[in-house]
Amino acid sequence: MEIHPIAIFHSPFTSKFGIPRQSGIAATLKGCIVFEPEYRNKDALRGIDGFDYLWLIWGFSCNTGAEKHPTVRPPRLGGNRQMGVWATRSPFRPNNLGLSSVKIEKIDMDTAEGPVIHVLGADLMDGTPIYDIKPYLPAFDSHEGVRAGFTDEEGWERLSVVIPDDIAEKFDTDGLAALREALSLDPRPHYHDDAERIYGMPFGDYDVKFRVEGTTLTVTDLRKFTIELQLLGVGKV
């Protein structure tokens, strides 16, 4: 079976580094779904405005050539315990397919690119291919009182985020809230714990520099992407 993208996702994240590890945990993060030309038909979206959430079936497009294994090391477990790939949501999967639940923010039916769906809380990189869209049905898709495997054992601890005023003012209110939320999730590989190390996370038009000491993440610098930085591969995969 061959599948082809019906749409492309657009996000502030131009590389894999820093993307939230699950959908919904960065609830203020904005993104949009732009349909491929052959699918820019308003009739295909008839009734979608009656739903609050959607399921997106998409592709880990940067992992197509990566070696796949039957076990992986989930970041939630610090990267030092192995689990079977089917017991995780690892991006390194045989068919490279992802599944995410996103909240509809608004739908623009009339744009130069056809209908565009604006969503919140996605864990997708900019340029990700979307293969299918389905409505989220709370009566059937939500289950109360169920077990969640190893994720029941490990809590999700957020970092305190410090962004100096001169850096914060570069973003609008929504962009700053999304950046703060994404950073609070600790974008570092979980085996890193060097308080002196400076990390860089592409976010929109900027390379955001930060360091982490204990439970506090401090943004140290902001570099706007230029042609020179792009030629060096900064912010690109």
Global pTM reads 0.86
pLDDT score at 61: 79
Question: Residue 237: pLDDT above 80?
Answer: no
Domain hosting 112: range is 7-141
Q: Are residues 68 and 109 in the same domain?
A: yes
38 and 116 both lie in a single domain: yes
Backbone φ and ψ for 86, nearest 5 degrees, come out as -75, -15
What single-letter amino acid sits at 67?
E
* 140: nearest Cα among 55, 75, 199: 55
Instruction: List strands edge to edge, sheet with 206-213.
Output: 160-162, 216-224, 206-213, 199-203
**pLDDT level of residue 232 (50, 70, 90 thresholds):** very low
Count how many Cα atoms sit within 13 Å of the Cα of residue 128 in the half-sphere of its side chain.
32
Residue 94 CB partners (closer than 8 Å, separation 6+): 68
What integer is the mean pLDDT of 36-44?
Answer: 97
Domain count, the chain: 2
Please report whether residue 182 resides in a domain: yes
Task: Let me know if residue 166 belongs to a domain.
Answer: yes
Does 80 or 183 have the greater pLDDT score?
A: 183
- Shared domain check, 198 and 123: no
Q: Confirm whether 154 is domain-assigned.
A: no
Shared-domain flag, residues 37 and 131:
yes
Contacts of 231 (CB under 8 A, 6+ apart): none
Give tens-digit pLDDT for 72-100.
Answer: 888 777 777 888 999 988 888 889 899 99
Domain edge (last residue) among 106, 141, 176: 141
Residues 124 and 215 in one domain: no
Which of 81, 98, 73 lies closest to 16 in space, CA to CA? Answer: 98
Task: For strands 97-108 and 116-120, give the pairing.
Answer: antiparallel
Domain final residue pick, 97, 114, 141: 141
Specify the pLDDT at position 157. 81
> pLDDT confidence of 195, banded at 50, 70, 90?
confident
Residue-averaged pLDDT of the chain:
88
Residue 27 has pLDDT above 60, yes or no: yes
* Contact criterion met (CB below 8 Å) for 118 and 30: yes
**Which CATH number do you get for residue 125?**
2.40.30.70
Task: Determine the pLDDT at residue 233.
Answer: 47
| Shared-domain flag, residues 73 and 29 | yes
CA of 36: how far to CAs of 6, 11, 80, 120, 132, in Å?
6, 16, 40, 21, 12
Q: What is the mean pLDDT of residues 208-220?
A: 95
d(CA 107, CA 48): 9
Cα angle: 69, vertex 141, 62; to 5 degrees: 35
The answer to whether residue 153 is domain-embedded is no
**Are residues 195 and 98 both part of a single domain?**
no
What pLDDT does residue 73 have? 84
